[in-house]
Amino acid sequence: MKKTVVLYPGLAVSHFAPMVQLADALLDEGYAVAVAIIDPTVKGDIALAAVVDRAAVTKPSVAFHKLPLIKDYSPAIVHDDKFIARYFDLVRRYNQHLHDLLLSMPPGSSVHALIVDMMSVEAFGVADELGIPGYTFFPSNASALAATVQVPSIRCAEGQPGLRELGDTPLSFHGVPPVPASHLTAEMLEGPGSETYEALMDMFARIQESRGILVNMFGSLEARAVGALGDPRIFPKMPPLYCVGPLVAGYSGEAKEEEHKCITWLDEQPEQSVVFLCYGGTGAGIHSEEQLKEMAIGLEKSGHQFLWVVRAPAPDGPEKPFDPRANPDLDALLPKGFLERTSGRCLVVKLWVPQVEVLNHKAVGAFVTHCGWNSVLEGISAGVPMLSWPMYAEQRMNKVFMVEEYRVGAEVIGWQQGMVKAEEIEAKVKLVMEGEEGKRLRARVSQHKEAAAVAWEDGGSSRSAFGQFLTDAGCLRQRPTRS
């Protein structure tokens, strides 16, 4: 009987993409792989829908199943302060469809395990009902996991400020460097008693009730956090942790029928001479027109080559819908004459570039990033030092870990005041491209790159952790023993 592992990814490209990379590893071990996913049109996510459809075409050995739409149900899944509660409600409503799918697996197959995205823990009830081992896929890092599960232990005395009012007060957590209170996610800062805080903490409690957690990182990058999470004296409820990263989309280096123009341009630049600026799938649209102009001035004054991905700013006021795919008017957004003055040593691209391919190009010498975890892993795997410019969600915590723990990046400070000035952009670009600190960052990230490269090789830490997961998952009824 063919053993099948079912993946249940979250409704975001940043959650879906690394989980699908995990499918390749399962196929290599002889498992059948099925991906169950709520139809992305429910969330109105056109970008995710395109990524799902492309994955279904490029991975014919994986069975992709879009769960049927629920009749007369149109959830308002928008990224506001009620997002998490609404998302959990969405997952609960689709539990019956997931249940039916798991029962309908073709004859000759046996559902061996269900791996659920961290945001879809409501599906564990289905796994329990059917007697299928349920595991959590955590697409972020172990440090974020360690810090977040300790947040409920922060007890503000009666009459004392809540988490939000603590500002930049450093919070001490086991396994990670001190994290300023202001760098916690918006949901955490709401504090106990709020719907969003309670929903988030319930999610992390449910994660710890799963049979194990597969984390998208490699052990040597976060040895301190992994050690703490594996210590039952600190985390008595934590299940086994399997560090199975970096799950980064591969780049073969093969010629394509139609090469992106940025790659052709990079081919003409000296080695490690280009600063690459890109802020994620939707993050780039958050920059205001004023911020884009400051960035342009700073980049121009730095004197360095740069490749810059620009998106149109978000409109003023919530009543105006924001389309992250809107075509930006570069002449209107950037300083007058900027494109002409920097012609030859810069390339400004609208909307999108093949980021993994760009980062692995020999011409790229630094990466200005929003600190989304996929981008951080891609930068580390390519051995590129980074300038950390977080914007929202867990990116602010990731910035702390990048700068203080992994030591692969320098912080762009101005984000904390809501505007990074041209002078700082110029200085930080020169720091990473010219200064001694830049050399130290490059040396450290090169060491991490080497560790990432061998993690999935025979005997590597991630392959060994993945093998341990497969061994533990073979005990269908018996909870695996913690090491």
Place of tokens 């497969």: 470
Give catalytic status of residue 361 as yes or no: no
Sheet arrangement for strand 305-310: 346-350, 305-310, 274-277, 364-369, 386-388, 409-411
C-alpha to C-alpha distance for 416 and 425, rounded to whole angstroms: 14
State the catalytic residue, choosing from 112, 117, 287, 472.
117
Give catalytic status of residue 117 as yes or no: yes
Paired residues of 343 in beta bridges: 346
Do 87 and 59 contact (CB within 8 A), yes or no?
no
State the catalytic residue, choosing from 15, 174, 361, 448.
15
On the question of a cis peptide bond just before residue 385, with omega within 30 degrees of 0, the verdict is no
DSSP per position, 388-455: E---STTHHHHHHIIIIII--EEE-GGGGGT---HHHHHHHHHHHHHSHHHHHHHHHHHHHHHHHHHH
C-alpha to C-alpha distance for 415 and 429, rounded to whole angstroms: 15
What type of residue is 43?
K
Question: By three-state DSSP, how is residue 320 classified?
Answer: coil
Do 120 and 198 contact (CB within 8 A), yes or no?
no
What type of residue is 272?
Q
Paired residues of 305 in beta bridges: 274
Phi then psi for 258, rounded to 5 degrees? -135, 100
Taking CB atoms within 8 Å and a gap of at least 24, the contacts of 390-393 are 390/415, 391/279, 391/283, 391/286, 391/415, 392/186, 392/283, 392/286, 393/185, 393/186
Tell me which residues are annotated as active site.
15, 117
